[in-house]
């Protein structure tokens, strides 16, 4: 097949227009949130947020349920060692989750209790700021998303994240996924990944999977809507955010409560 | 001029083939890394940058240090640097080449490197680092090649080079400043979150780079007919002295702020590096080796008698180089990641394949230096011959 001179010029013209557009894109829209076509069924919000009601997590099973469902639907591999580890949602104790708020006189229940950890979907995310290819970006609804196909694996975002929320595929993850969920992409070696607030479920009108199985331990909603469930619980309970002093404005809140609330 | 790199003694070719062999072995291990993934290295979720990025950071400094010859020669009319200027510029070229390779081998998806160009992102410091590094490489190749070519023909360099030379001065500062900004602007890494980071980077660069150049200059004298001269080497020695003292001074400033303030986040990395933390102390011995070498080097450099003795100077320069290599090419990176954001300690140590790949990249750098120096020195040797013929 040969291309006529006329066709060639047409293609060249359109391509140069494209280059022109991407240049303006670069100048004006760069650090801004990204908008895209949404499904009419989808759940919508101005600022998605999550509240972790630590009091509701009582048994080992309460943690296992939320972690297992996430790993299963998102094809999170299990390498069985910490060096290669990929984590989306996991747990740690108070002194590690809130390192500089530790005091040894806290109730024992607080000190020993595991806390659910995940990406904070910061309102001012340093990972987005440092990414050289916009492979990680903030969406209009506040979700910090990750494009596995654009990521070059420089791991600048991992150095930038103050919450240790990001994992790198140090090797091919596919052989380490027990049951592949065909509805969600598996990843390749050499890219970074993390919790995506179940953006793929929100689009179908479903809440995040961990929220659904948490028996009220994880509350999800729109921070910009004063009537939302998250706003209601935050206005009546004292809550903490991890390392709020760093100014990243995390969108995951922790309601801890003492023994009397439990 | 490049043809001068194609003729040489047996020793020259032996060295070239040795380097090619080392590069070949490194490349074979790189292929293994390429197939398996970066899991072949000692890096982990917690220490996600290691030897590669450390080497990159250190070598950006060595590259920037060419400015320590350019400034005295062009701005202060210090003519004695005239003959060795080219050695500094070509060292910068080789260093930037190594930097680029170290970035490439550290990338999880190297085939996608052009994404940085396809999706340029000015809010990422890495975008600016790519620009300044490539620009600096180009500047030094053009400046070095043109001035050497003019030298060879015994004519003054073309006038259009002058502005490029002046431009290369702030540009050299920029490459290391931007590299420091990769670290100094991250909210969750208190060890790096320091306004003095860029200044410290520059100080250590202006010590390590000229120190290496002194060693190279002494080797050139030993191996070729071209003598870089006693005085320029001594002048460089003074630069190393001042810069090394400044570098150590800046480190002490960091230690003071961390420990007098008693803010745990700022102290913990230092504790891990120099004393060990929670029973983990892999870095402790080499950090103290770095410290001892720094102190010994500074003493030898300050005392005029020892500095003026070229063998002692060479030893002091090697000490400076190794000390700063440990401090910046290794400790600085690992220290930033330990403890992790959960205040837990995960240790890092390079694996054998990782080390061999890093050595392979160094061999590429040495190959570039060797070829470029061969050209430069052949031109100098020609000049010496023509001078002796006319007299």
Reported as a single tens digit per residue, the pLDDT across A30-41 is 455 556 666 788
pLDDT class for A15, splitting at 50, 70, 90?
low
Mean pLDDT for B140-162 is 91
Chain A residue with minimal CA distance to B46? A164
Residue ranges of the alpha helices (H) in B185-303? 197-223, 230-261, 264-274, 284-302
Q: Which CA distances in Å does A241 have to A128, A211, A220, B186?
A: 19, 18, 15, 19
Cβ neighbours of B120 in A, within 8 Å? 26
Selected residue of B48, B103, B347 to mutate for chain A interface (largest A Cβ count, 10 A): B48
| In the predicted structure, residue A73 carries a pLDDT above the cut 90 | yes
In the predicted structure, residue A11 carries a pLDDT above the cut 60: yes
Q: Does A243 touch chain B (CB under 8 A)?
A: yes
Mean pLDDT score of chain B: 94
Residue A79 CB: number of other CB atoms within 10 A?
16
Most A CBs within 10 A among B119, B262, B347, B354, hence the mutation to make, goes to: B119
Shortest CA gap A19–chain B (Å): 10
What is the model's pLDDT at position A230? 96
In angstroms, the separation between the Cα of residue B237 and the nearest Cα of chain A is 37
Lowest mean pLDDT: which of A94-108, A136-150, B190-204?
Answer: A94-108
Closest of B383, B384, B390, B386 to residue B150, by C-alpha: B383
* Among candidates B106, B109, B265 on the partner chain, residue whose Cβ is nearest the Cβ of A151: B109
Q: Give the rounded distance of the alpha carbon of B161 from its chain centre.
A: 25
Model pLDDT, residue A9: 66
Mean pLDDT of B250-261: 96
| Closest listed residue to residue A194, CA positions, set A118, A248, A253, A82 | A118
Burial class (CB in 10 A: 0-12, 13-18, 19+), B285: exposed
**pLDDT higher than 90, residue B270:** yes
**Domain B2-383 belongs to what architecture?**
Up-down Bundle (1.20)
Q: Per-residue pLDDT for A101 more than 90?
A: no
Instruction: Report yes or no: A214 and A83 within 8 Å, Cβ to Cβ.
Output: no
**Cβ of B127 and A190 within 8 Å?**
no
B343/A130 Cβ within 8 A? no
- What is the count of residue pairs from A and B with beta carbons less than 8 Å apart? 152
Q: Residue A261 pLDDT > 60, yes or no?
A: no
Residue-wise pLDDT for B67-88, tens only, equals: 999 999 989 989 899 888 999 9
| Spatial separation of the C-alpha atoms in residues B342 and A218, rounded to whole Å | 22
**Domains present along chain A, CATH in parentheses:** 31-261 (3.30.70.20)
User: Residue A21 contacts by C-beta under 8 Å, 6 or more apart in sequence?
Assistant: none
- Asked if the interface predicted TM-score (ipTM) of this complex is over 0.85, the answer is yes
Question: Is 60 exceeded by the pLDDT of residue A24?
Answer: no
Q: What does the domain layout of chain B look like in residue ranges?
A: 2-383
Alpha-carbon distance A12 to nearest alpha carbon in chain B (angstroms): 17
Is pLDDT at B168 greater than 50 in this prediction? yes
């Amino acid at each position: 097949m040969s291309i006529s001179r006329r066709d060639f010029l047409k293609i060249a013209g359109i391509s140069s227009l494209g280059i022109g557009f991407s240049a303006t894109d670069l100048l004006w829209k760069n650090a801004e949130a990204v908008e895209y076509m949404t499904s009419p069924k989808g759940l919508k919000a101005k600022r998605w947020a999550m509240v972790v009601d630590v009091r509701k997590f009582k048994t080992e099973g309460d943690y296992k349920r939320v972690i297992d469902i996430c790993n299963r639907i998102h094809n999170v591999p299990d390498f069985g060692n910490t060096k290669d580890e990929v984590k989306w949602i996991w747990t740690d104790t108070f002194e590690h989750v809130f390192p500089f708020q530790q005091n040894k006189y806290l109730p024992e229940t607080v000190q020993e209790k595991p806390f659910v950890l995940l990406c904070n979907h910061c309102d001012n995310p340093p990972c987005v700021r440092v990414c050289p290819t916009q492979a990680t970006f903030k969406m209009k609804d506040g979700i910090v998303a990750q494009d596995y196909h654009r990521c070059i694996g420089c791991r600048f975002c991992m150095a930038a994240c103050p919450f240790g929320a990001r994992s790198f595929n140090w090797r091919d993850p596919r052989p380490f996924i027990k049951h592949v969920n065909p509805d969600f992409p598996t990843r390749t070696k050499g890219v970074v990944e993390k919790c995506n607030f179940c953006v793929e479920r929100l689009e179908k009108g479903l809440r995040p999977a961990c929220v659904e199985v948490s028996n009220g331990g994880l509350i999800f909603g729109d921070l910009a809507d004063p009537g939302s469930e998250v706003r209601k619980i935050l206005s009546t309970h004292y809550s903490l955010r991890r390392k709020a002093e760093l100014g990243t404005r995390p969108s995951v809140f922790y309601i801890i409560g003492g023994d009397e609330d439990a | 001029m490049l043809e001068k790199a194609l003729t040489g003694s047996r020793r020259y070719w032996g060295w070239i083939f040795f380097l090619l062999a080392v590069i070949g072995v490194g490349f074979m291990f790189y292929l293994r890394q390429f197939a398996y993934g970066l899991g072949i290295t000692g890096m982990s979720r917690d220490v996600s940058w290691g030897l590669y990025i450390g080497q990159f950071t250190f070598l950006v400094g060595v590259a920037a240090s060419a400015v320590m010859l350019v400034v005295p020669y062009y701005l202060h009319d210090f003519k004695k640097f005239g003959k060795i200027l080219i050695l500094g510029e070509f060292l910068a070229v080789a260093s930037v080449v190594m930097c680029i390779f170290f970035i490439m081998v550290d990338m999880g998806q190297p085939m996608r490197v052009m994404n940085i160009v396809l999706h340029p992102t000015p809010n990422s410091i890495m975008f600016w680092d790519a620009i300044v590094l490539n620009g600096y490489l180009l500047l030094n190749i053009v400046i070095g090649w043109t001035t050497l070519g003019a030298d060879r023909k015994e004519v003054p360099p073309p006038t259009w080079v002058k502005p490029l030379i002046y431009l290369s001065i702030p540009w050299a500062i920029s490459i290391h400043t931007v590299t420091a900004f990769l670290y100094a602007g991250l909210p969750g890494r208190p060890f790096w979150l320091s306004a003095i980071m860029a200044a410290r980077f520059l100080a250590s660069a202006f010590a390590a780079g000229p120190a290496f150049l002194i060693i190279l200059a002494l080797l050139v004298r030993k191996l070729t007919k071209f003598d870089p001269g006693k005085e320029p080497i001594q002048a460089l020695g003074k630069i190393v002295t001042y810069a090394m003292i400044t570098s150590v001074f800046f480190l002490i400033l960091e230690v003071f702020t961390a420990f007098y303030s008693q803010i745990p986040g700022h102290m913990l990395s230092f504790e891990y590096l120099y004393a060990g933390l929670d029973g983990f102390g892999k870095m402790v011995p080499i950090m103290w080796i770095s410290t001892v070498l720094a102190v010994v080097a500074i003493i030898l450099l300050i005392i005029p008698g020892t500095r003026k003795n070229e063998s002692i100077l060479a030893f002091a320069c090697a000490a400076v180089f190794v000390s700063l290599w440990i401090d910046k090419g290794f400790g600085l990176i690992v220290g930033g990641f330990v403890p992790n954001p959960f205040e837990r300690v995960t240790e890092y140590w390079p694996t054998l394949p990782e080390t061999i790949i890093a050595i392979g990249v160094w061999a590429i750098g040495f190959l570039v230096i060797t070829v470029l120096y061969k050209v430069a020195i052949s031109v100098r040797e020609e000049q010496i011959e023509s001078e002796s013929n006319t007299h």
